[in-house]
Amino acid sequence: MHTIVMTGATRGIGRVAVDRIISDDPEAHLVLLAREPGGSTLARRLASTGRQVTAINTDLLSMRSVRNATARLLEQFASGRLPPLRTLVGNAGLQFTNNTTATSDGLEATFAINVLANHVLIRNLESAFRTPARIVITVSDTHFGDFSHNLGMVPAPRWQDPGTIARIGAFPHPDTVAAGRAAYSTSKLAAIYSIHEFARRLPEDITITGFNPGFVPGTDLARDAGRMANFAMRRVLPLVAFTPLATSKSVAGQYLAQAALGDTPATTGAYINRGRAERSSDESYEPVRERQLWDTLEQLAHQHAR
């Protein structure tokens, strides 16, 4: 037996992936790090099929909550209540309609969940991995910043000092949707930088990859975007999934499960575009930025999550 820890399993792409993971990996004890009541409800439903699934109440927007969740996990690994940790899937993510949403730690919310939470999860759980082990983080092709990847819906990333991106008001006209979406594409670029830096620092037998599902209409990612945009994301844009421009939720979930189960060939640091390792944007290979971001994340983690 081994443990798979997963975030973002309660809805959207992750909800599809979780079914495939438990059906294809009968040796897995799945731990869902999720908000309540969604996490426990899903864990109970999956466990009723005879599988080992538990939930730990975790709000990834709160570094205290992330720290408490990893402390509970470490305790359960140490006492043998959980089998050894082999896989971490960091799939949870959010997109906001502004760049002014602050967490209880005073951090910008997009950055806090899409970048810092994964950093803290990996750093706090690093010692618990039983190798060979695998980490998969969901990123996004919006980090490319061009029309063929963002369909004109999400502005290109605007890289700045990571300490600035971590705070509200880093993007022009911060109370606009454009600023919220620029924060999103920038956070996903940051997530790729973070993956590259981890790939250099983690032991060789812990691989880390980024997973891009493509544009997946029909999930709840735009739930903060108001009734019209939400209606479009849930009801109209799913039709786009029948074109090559987008991925359906069920296909995206299968791809995420494949990456999590190690069925997609990829070396550490790779960018998995749907079902294949490919090159991410030219801008996403910047060792100086990667190092600066690492330093900022370490500082924030010490301040808020250790």
Contacts with ligand NAP by CB under 6 A lie at 7-14, 34-35, 38, 58-61, 91-94, 113, 138, 140, 213, 215-216, 219-221
Nearer to ligand NAP, 77 or 215 (CB): 215
CB of 10 to ligand NAP, least distance (A): 4
Nearer to ligand NAP, 14 or 162 (CB): 14
Nearer to ligand NAP, 58 or 209 (CB): 58
Nearer to ligand NAP, 248 or 296 (CB): 248
CA–CA separation, 29 and 199 (whole Å): 25
Nearer to ligand NAP, 12 or 155 (CB): 12
Closest CA to 157 of 186, 135, 128: 186
CB of 283 to ligand NAP, least distance (A): 17
Nearer to ligand NAP, 9 or 192 (CB): 9
CB of 192 to ligand NAP, least distance (A): 12
CB of 214 to ligand NAP, least distance (A): 6
CB of 65 to ligand NAP, least distance (A): 8
Nearer to ligand NAP, 206 or 241 (CB): 241
CB of 217 to ligand NAP, least distance (A): 7
Burial grade of 267 (CB within 10 A; 0-12, 13-18, 19 or more):
exposed
CB of 234 to ligand NAP, least distance (A): 10
CA–CA separation, 297 and 274 (whole Å): 27
